[in-house]
Amino acid sequence: MLYHSTQDKSKSVSSAQAIAQGISKDGGLFVPESFPKLSLVDLDTMLSKSYQQRAKYIIGQFLTDFSQKEISDCVDNAYTVEKFGGDNPAPISTVTFNGDEVNLLELWHGPTCAFKDMALQILPHFLTKSLQKVGGGKDAVILVATSGDTGKAALEGFRDVDHTKIIVFYPVNGVSAMQKHQMNTQEGDNVYVCAINGNFDDAQTAVKKIFTDPETAAILDENGMMFSSANSINWGRLLPQIVYYISAYCDMVNLGKVKLGEKINITVPTGNFGNILAAYYAFEMGLPVNKFICASNSNNVLTDFINTGVYDKNREFYTTVSPSMDILVSSNLERLLFIMSGENDAETKGYMDALKSEGRYEVSATIKEKISAMFYGGFADEQTTEKTIHDLYAQEHYLCDTHTAVAVAVCDEYIKKTGDKTPVVIASTASPYKFSKAVLSAVDGGKLPESEFDMVEKLNELTGAPVPAPLASLRGKKSRFFDVTDKEGMQAVVLGALGIDK
């Protein structure tokens, strides 16, 4: 299996190269040249298997330059009971919301309490092995732009991993108090965290620029280093995410929610379009899916895109209670456009160039039709998000976080609007305790305690929902990182953190 760029199909690389490099030199994203197909027999075989066994099988289809033993090692080291609190790292909880049954795929039982752990606990293992194959003895410098959850999950995944250094940039006023505290208290000798004056899109754009700048690459090269990415532009992030949708389908069959071969709907709270794209890739492999429900918050650029075919980032940016979705440039949409254009690299590049120069593009009528056939786009504003947390708790005593609430709300709107009763899986993406302020005010509405950890405690007393140990243990922990930079200063910060004088 080889990989090529969404903006230039002419050259192909191995999976190790795609993972080590993160992004293609032409600025495009690496995609597999074809999708291995899962038959119903394959799915049937997986029904009786563990999550880890399913993961090994699926990952093995894509990383054909890795040995089975290498893949086994990666999976066994990533998805342990200690790290994910159970044999199944991604369990399903079924609830009834406003009269309709929905299945919440809980992806936040890992060490940093967000779904990013599902990929970032295994990516360092993929990367270490990839570097052995193609790294030429260089150390990898992982540059991360985060809207809150990727940063912490990447820091935790890469801390003290040999031959890697990790540098994380987050928007100074764009993450929750808990997210900030999680990152600033990060331990490890190879980690560095810095806030930026700007939003996530500013951070992501600047990181991509540093990343593809030949001059910076040359400086790193002289110092025995190379850049890599832990953002969802890296193929090694998306692949582990495909696994949990296929595994969830098997669990749905085992739970008696669907018969093997019957379709499901999948709802995903979406920001950078990585998580929902992974679900779509599972469908490309043969997973029986009827509709993908793409749920946005007030930054509803994707809702408009799905409904009109026009992607326009020239709009107001909102800071919301679901900060990990406060994004106007959804990087991974590029990979969907590539597929929907019939793998047309020139057309994909055209859209991306227009996005860069005009902040806007309009896709062809064919692409628009193909997308509306499979995707429903909707959004939940702040009030709806809070009401959903409140109502779900009132109806089911189930506490969900702000991002998951956006998905539950949009899914509910979809069911009520269309009458589509296809069994639905909703990606539940974070622990409610990462966003205690918003969640507590949604369920209680009374006066909020002042400190973050007093809010955590109050939410716990009120609801009885257990506080994840990795968050509870952060109380009173001292920060290690305090730096804030402007966008223009990020490159200097990177070189400084690496101990390179220029």
Ligand X SMILES: *Cc1c(COP(=O)(O)O)cnc(C)c1O
State which residue, 216 or 272, has the beta carbon closest to ligand X.
Answer: 272
State which residue, 56 or 335, has the beta carbon closest to ligand X.
Answer: 335
Residue 367 DSSP SS3 = helix
Contact letters for ligand X, residues 175-214 (x by CB under 6 A): ----------------------------------------
State which residue, 78 or 119, has the beta carbon closest to ligand X.
Answer: 119
Q: Specify the long-range contacts of residues 480-485, CB closer than 8 Å, at least 24 apart.
A: 480/184, 480/185, 480/186, 480/187, 480/193, 481/183, 481/184, 481/186, 481/192, 481/193, 481/194, 482/184, 483/193, 483/194, 483/195, 484/172, 484/194, 484/195, 484/196, 484/197, 485/194, 485/195, 485/196, 485/197
Residues 144-163 that bind ligand X (CB under 6 A): 149
State which residue, 320 or 324, has the beta carbon closest to ligand X.
Answer: 324
CA angle 275, 277, 282 (to 5 degrees): 100
Q: Which of residues 430, 438, 439, 467 is near ligand X by CB under 6 A?
A: 430
Candidates 66-74, 155-163, 263-271, 474-482; binding stretch for ligand X (CB under 6 A): 263-271
Q: Count the residues in the chain.
A: 502
Q: Whose structure tokens read 């992501």?
A: 204
CA distances from 276 to 291, 397, 495 (A): 11, 27, 34
Beta carbon of residue 134, minimum distance to ligand X (angstroms, whole number): 26
Residue 275 in contact with ligand X, rule: CB under 6 A: yes
DSSP 8-state code for residue 186: -
Beta carbon of residue 135, minimum distance to ligand X (angstroms, whole number): 27
Q: Which of residues 109, 116, 349, 368 is near ligand X by CB under 6 A?
A: 116
Residue 164 in contact with ligand X, rule: CB under 6 A: no
Residue 272 in contact with ligand X, rule: CB under 6 A: yes
Which burial class, exposed, middle or buried, applies to 473 when counting CB atoms under 10 A from its CB (0-12, 13-18, 19+)?
exposed
Q: How many CA atoms lie within 13 A of 193 on its CB side?
A: 29
Beta carbon of residue 275, minimum distance to ligand X (angstroms, whole number): 4
Q: Which of residues 113, 325, 380, 490 is near ligand X by CB under 6 A?
A: 325
For the record, the structure tokens of 245 come out as 């949708």
For the record, the structure tokens of 49 come out as 């298997």
State which residue, 127 or 238, has the beta carbon closest to ligand X.
Answer: 238
Q: Which of residues 129, 138, 257, 403 is near ligand X by CB under 6 A?
A: 403
Residue 269 in contact with ligand X, rule: CB under 6 A: yes
Which burial class, exposed, middle or buried, applies to 501 when counting CB atoms under 10 A from its CB (0-12, 13-18, 19+)?
exposed
Q: Which of residues 245, 273, 280, 292 is near ligand X by CB under 6 A?
A: 273
Residue 119 in contact with ligand X, rule: CB under 6 A: no
Beta carbon of residue 440, minimum distance to ligand X (angstroms, whole number): 17
Beta bridge partners of 100: 97
Q: Which of residues 186, 232, 234, 299 is near ligand X by CB under 6 A?
A: 232
Residue 352 CA to residue 396 CA, distance in Å, equals 44
Residues 410-429 that bind ligand X (CB under 6 A): 429
Residue 318 CA to residue 437 CA, distance in Å, equals 18
- Amino acid letter, residue 314: N
Residue 235 in contact with ligand X, rule: CB under 6 A: no
Residue 174 in contact with ligand X, rule: CB under 6 A: no
Beta carbon of residue 325, minimum distance to ligand X (angstroms, whole number): 5
Beta carbon of residue 471, minimum distance to ligand X (angstroms, whole number): 14
Q: Phi and psi for 482 in degrees, rounded to 5?
A: -135, 0
Residue 436 in contact with ligand X, rule: CB under 6 A: no
CA angle 103, 105, 108 (to 5 degrees): 145
Q: Which of residues 103, 128, 270, 436 is near ligand X by CB under 6 A?
A: 270
Beta carbon of residue 254, minimum distance to ligand X (angstroms, whole number): 26
Contact indicator for 408, 102 with CB cutoff of 8 Å: yes
Q: Whose structure tokens read 């406060």?
A: 326
Beta carbon of residue 406, minimum distance to ligand X (angstroms, whole number): 8
Q: Phi and psi for 304 in degrees, rounded to 5?
A: -65, -40
Beta carbon of residue 240, minimum distance to ligand X (angstroms, whole number): 12
Beta carbon of residue 269, minimum distance to ligand X (angstroms, whole number): 5
State which residue, 182 or 429, has the beta carbon closest to ligand X.
Answer: 429
Candidates 180-188, 270-278, 362-370, 476-484; binding stretch for ligand X (CB under 6 A): 270-278
Candidates 166-174, 273-281, 345-353, 451-459; binding stretch for ligand X (CB under 6 A): 273-281
Contact indicator for 468, 113 with CB cutoff of 8 Å: yes
Residue 322 CA to residue 404 CA, distance in Å, equals 9
List interacting residues with ligand X (CB under 6 A).
114, 116, 149, 232, 269-275, 324-325, 403, 429-430
